[in-house]
Structure 1
Amino acid sequence: MVAPKADKAKAHAARRHGVAVHDFRLWSRIYPPTGREGYVPFAFVFTGRTKAQRASRMRRLEQAARSYFAGTQYAGGGITAVDYHQAVPVVVTELERITADPKGAAGKVWRRLGRDEWQTLTDALDNPDGDRLYVVQAEQARKRQKEREAAAREAQRPVRRRCGMKFTDDRWQTVHLFPTQ
């Protein structure tokens, strides 16, 4: 049996190619974009007898899932921003932390894997070193490149023989168009 609202022709075509077609839908609607790069976040709430036990579980999860939640460096010199478009945001907390905080789950009880500080859920899911930082750093890199090109151009600007002053842009353009031989 095919899931409600599923296209029967597509389900049949998928089965012919050996793809499993589920009998139920996990998502009944499309959610609006969050404005954050990356996939849908995962949240894990740990509990255990001791703090060391909970910390050990979080550490093991962090080690096992590093390739999924860690972003990749953007290409380019001088850019430290991280690309999170293919990363799964994973946040963790402890049940004991949530119950001890007066604000509960709305407090600074969440830690994003790959970070050390405890933050609110919104702050933990934010990527301050992602796209926004990339835009700023890429613009700075473009400005530095323009400055280097302008300095190189000025270094090549010819000098008048008589007075030693550099050619104006108009004079230099004229010399390039009609070189003397």
Structure 2
Amino acid sequence: MWTAPEGRELPHPPPAIVLTKKMGTAAMQNRMREVARLSQPTWRGRWTTGYPHGVPGYGYQDYEGTVPVVVTVLDRLEQYGPHGPVWWRYGQQGLQTLTDALEDPDYHRASAAWEKRRRATADAARERRQEERAEERRRRRHAA
């Protein structure tokens, strides 16, 4: 029975593909890429833009309703174990641990970048208000 992780609505459990056949590196990479190409409608996210709180430039790859597909080779799995950095999530770069591969990294990076911009904007506005108040106090003292 499949239960989606808390806070995520996955329509199906994420498949983990382990390629076991011994073959050259180039052949293995070609096989992994071909499986990625054939399964792309399942795992490919969509670029989402939005302007929360009026902040332009916010966007991320949205994987809502998709199924993350991870793949590895048996040799790597035997060497590092299932929780080691052996998984390639289709649509992502590099090898990751299973936990990281099943996260939605683009959303998290975009959220972190948006939060950083939001804080910088809020800090600048706060500094501007403080400077305006200080200027107003200076004017009142000179007028008195």
In the TM superposition, what whole-angstrom CA distance separates every residue of 1:30-56 from its partner, at most 9, and x where no partner exists? 626343454431110112221333222
**Structure 1 partner of 2:76:** 97
**Structure 1 partner of 2:106:** 129
Unpaired stretches in structure 1, ≥5 consecutive residues: 1-26, 148-181
Could you tell me whether the CA contact under 8 Å between 1:37 and 1:84 is conserved in 2?
no
2:5 pairs with 1:33: yes
Q: Secondary structure at the match of 2:72?
A: strand
1:58 is aligned, of 16, 32, 54, to 32
| TM-score normalized by the length of structure 2 | 0.65
Unpaired stretches in structure 2, ≥5 consecutive residues: 51-55, 125-144
Q: 1:131 to 1:90 in 2, by over 3 A?
A: same
Q: Which has the larger radius of gyration?
A: 1
2:23 pairs with 1:45: no
Q: Percent identity?
A: 36
**Structure 2 partner of 1:79:** 58
Which amino acid is 2:14 matched to?
P
RMSD: 3.1
Which amino acid is 1:98 matched to?
L
Matches within 5 A, 1:9-24: none
Following TM superposition, by how much is the alpha carbon of 1:97 offset from its aligned partner in structure 2, in angstroms? Answer: 1.1
In the TM superposition, what whole-angstrom CA distance separates every residue of 1:85-126 from its partner, at most 9, and x where no partner exists? 121100000011112x2x411211111011221111011111
| TM-score normalized by the length of structure 1 | 0.53
More helix by share: 2
Matches within 5 A, 1:105-144: 105-130=82-107, 133-134=110-111, 137=114, 140=117
Could you tell me whether the CA contact under 8 Å between 2:49 and 2:59 is conserved in 1?
no
Q: Secondary structure at the match of 1:123?
A: helix
Could you tell me whether the CA contact under 8 Å between 2:49 and 2:58 is conserved in 1?
yes
Could you tell me whether the CA contact under 8 Å between 1:83 and 1:131 is conserved in 2?
no
Identify the structure with bigger relative contact order (alpha carbons < 8 Å, sequence gap 6+): 2
Q: Secondary structure at the match of 1:106?
A: coil
Q: Following the alignment from structure 2 to structure 1, what is the Cα–Cα distance between the partners of residues 61 and 10?
A: 11
Q: How many pairs does the alignment contain?
A: 119
